[in-house]
Chains A and B, each alone.
Chain A
Amino acid sequence: MKNFLQGMHTVMRRELTAYFATPVAWVFIVIFTMLAAAFTFYLGGFYQRGLADLDPFFRFHPWLYLFLVPALAMRLWAEERKSGTIELLLTLPITMSQAIVGKFLAAWLFLGLALALTVPIWFTVNYLGDPDNGVILAAYIGSWLMAGAFLSIGSCMSAVTRNQVVAFILAVVVCFGFLLSGLPLVLDSFRAIGLPQGFVDGIANISLTVHFDAISRGVLDLRDLIYFALVIGFWLTSNLIILQLRKAD
């Protein structure tokens, strides 16, 4: 276990250094925080609502992540394969799982940092009113978990191809599917065509939105946490299998 952590940490550290060695990290952070603010204030009607909460802020996170997380994740493996560094990485005494988890955690921490930089919005709402800070904290955690789920999908798709654009598109499509499956509109139409309720509930249950919404109401239910852990675990395991099959192509 200690060895696993050491190898993983080495990969994670390298990745994080790499983010900040190029302008990519800064560009990403700027775009993320600006879009988050724009969504909140313009689309979400933050002021007009006259409520002291961050609902308009968090409501758009799934849609923000839908494009930004695949953009961050697309390089994870596609770039290693394209440049050949994957051969360097995987012939070091590091296991593939260490490499996958290390890269994933680096990107997830980075997303956490971007998310943390939106905290001024939290201050603002405290300045303007008297929000339930527990709910907001839970929503932040839920948002970060959702980002992690998207990221695991993106990482897996990045292992499918050495072309980053293809990896990006695949990830967006799969993430979109995970988002859509929870929308009332979609669920209603499943019901309308006569699918059994159990099936529809199943679809709703694998949806990220449903679990994210649950957490952002301020309830950190164990089932929601397990859901995110399972989603991330599933996609990273698929990532491992795909990489094993395709690393040399």
Chain B
Amino acid sequence: MIEAQSLTRHFGDLVAVDGITFTVDTGQVLGFLGPNGAGKSTTMKILTGFLPPTSGTAIINGYDISNDSLAVRREIGYLPEGAPLYGEMDVIRFLQFVARARGFSGAEAERKAAAAADRLNLKHVLKQRIETLSKGYKRRVGLAQAILHDPKVLILDEPTDGLDPNQKHEVRELIRNMSEHRTIVVSTHILEEVDALCNRAMIIADGKLVADDTPAGLIERSRYHNAVTLSVTDLQAAASVLSKLPEAAKVEVRDGEITVFPQPDTHLLLAVNRVIAEHGWQVHTLRLEAGRLDEVFRNITREAEPQEAAA
């Protein structure tokens, strides 16, 4: 469990994290979203004890980051941004080093290292130098060191950044499998990732918390939520018919498709279906929109941008 209380961090004049307060419970996978430079990594560095906050604090499983940093670090598994690793070491020695640093000694350290390597399918590269591994494998080594001590809190900074789609998928699977009985915070600027992985999403922009919701809740904020998109042979004629529907709030024609936006609390799809049947249109595609996360993200983070002072 993580309880952040008014976390703030300055770099000179820059306020990188600006009074962020939130709580993450066990079992939650929190997606930490925000544009580049929003303050995601800085927040994670504070939570993991790498950087002290300028003000505010956080309690992790009952330990305060400000005066119990070592205890906090014992609770946490952390994958820093870019997954930095000691490239000149081979995989198993590196994991054994992490195990010993985490307080395991002798045979126990070796067992922990081997078990972590096992969980991330690193068995056949154990003796390989880390710098010679592919990016996907390096990321797995980074994850292996993070989960080695079976931490109750996992903090992963852009764990899929720079990976190809297959590797991304694989890493997400791994994280999903680790999510039970843990508190996980994953930062990303890839929106589908939040939908695929998280049961909660927080958006930060300019160091401030601007949204805290479930991924579904965020999607519902999209103006596309429950909109209907279709393509027919005569776009213009169809658009003008559809715009007269009482259920339609707005109609847009773009890229050979018509999108009809609903009035609140109406069954737009039923109405559209009725019109199609009445006019006997040739419909090539027809779909109900769930909502577009990228649009929500843009709106929320744009609103948060500092406004130019009115002259």
**Could you tell me which A residues sit within 8 Å of B by CB distance?**
6-7, 10-11, 13-14, 17-18, 21-22, 83-85, 87-88, 90-95, 247-248
- Chain B residues in 8 Å Cβ range of A10: 97, 100-101
Q: B70 an interface residue at 8 Å Cβ cutoff?
A: yes
Q: A6-B105, A10-B100, A91-B73 are in contact. Are A17 and B89 (CB under 8 A)?
A: yes
A91 pairs with B50, CB closer than 8 A: yes
* Complex contact B51–A92 (CB within 8 A): no
Are B84 and A87 touching (Cβ within 8 A)? yes
Residues on A with beta carbons closer than 8 Å to the beta carbon of B93: 17
Kindly identify which residue among B48, B85, B90 contacts A85, using a CB–CB cutoff of 8 Å: B85
Q: How far is the CA of A248 from the CA of B87 in the complex (A)?
A: 20
Determine which of A6, A14, A83 lies in contact with B84 in the assembled complex, contact meaning CB atoms within 8 Å: A83
User: What chain B residues lie within 8 Å of A21 (beta carbons)?
Assistant: 88-90, 129
By the criterion CB–CB under 8 Å, are B103 and A248 in contact? no
Query: Is the CB of B215 closer than 8 A to any CB of chain A?
Result: no
Please tell me if the beta carbons of B45 and A88 are within 8 angstroms of each other in the complex: no
- In the assembled complex, how far is the CB of residue B76 from the closest CB belonging to chain A, in whole angstroms? 7
**Alpha-carbon separation in the docked complex, A87 to B79 (Å):** 9
Q: Whole-angstrom distance between the alpha carbons of A248 and B45 in the complex?
A: 9
Q: A14-B86, A21-B90, A88-B145 are in contact. List 10 more A-B contacts (CB 8 A).
A: A6-B100, A6-B103, A14-B97, A17-B89, A21-B129, A87-B50, A91-B50, A91-B80, A93-B73, A93-B101
Q: Does B217 contact A (CB under 8 A)?
A: no
User: Is there contact, CB below 8 Å, between B103 and A93?
Assistant: yes
Residues of A within 8 A of B291 (CB): none
Write the chain B residue with the least CB distance to A9: B100
| A85 contacts across to B, CB distance below 8 A | 84-86
Given A92-B98, A247-B50, verify A83-B73 contact (CB < 8 Å): no
Q: A21-B89, A83-B87, A85-B85 are in contact. Are A91 and B76 (CB under 8 A)?
A: yes
Q: Tell me the nearest residue of chain A to B9, going by C-beta.
A: A248
Contacting residues, chain A, for B145 (C-beta < 8 A): 88
Asked, given contacts A6-B103, A90-B50, A92-B98, whether A84 binds B86 with beta carbons under 8 Å apart, the answer is no
Q: For residue A85, which residue of chain B has the nearest CB? A: B84
- Please name all residues of chain A whose beta carbon is closer than 8 Å to the beta carbon of B89 when the two chains form the complex: 14, 17-18, 21
Q: Sorted from nearest, which 9 A-B pairs have the closest CB atoms?
A: A84-B84, A87-B80, A92-B101, A10-B100, A93-B73, A91-B48, A21-B88, A85-B84, A14-B97
Contact with A along B257-289 (1 / 0, CB 8 A): 000000000000000000000000000000000
How far is A153 from B95 in the complex, measured between Cα atoms in Å? Answer: 31
| Contacting pair B73 A7 (CB below 8 A) | no
What are 5 contact pairs spanning A and B, CB under 8 A? A11-B101, A13-B97, A13-B100, A85-B85, A92-B73
Q: Which residues does chain A contribute within 8 Å of B70, judged by CB atoms? A: 93, 95
In whole angstroms, what is the CA distance A83 to B84 when docked?
6
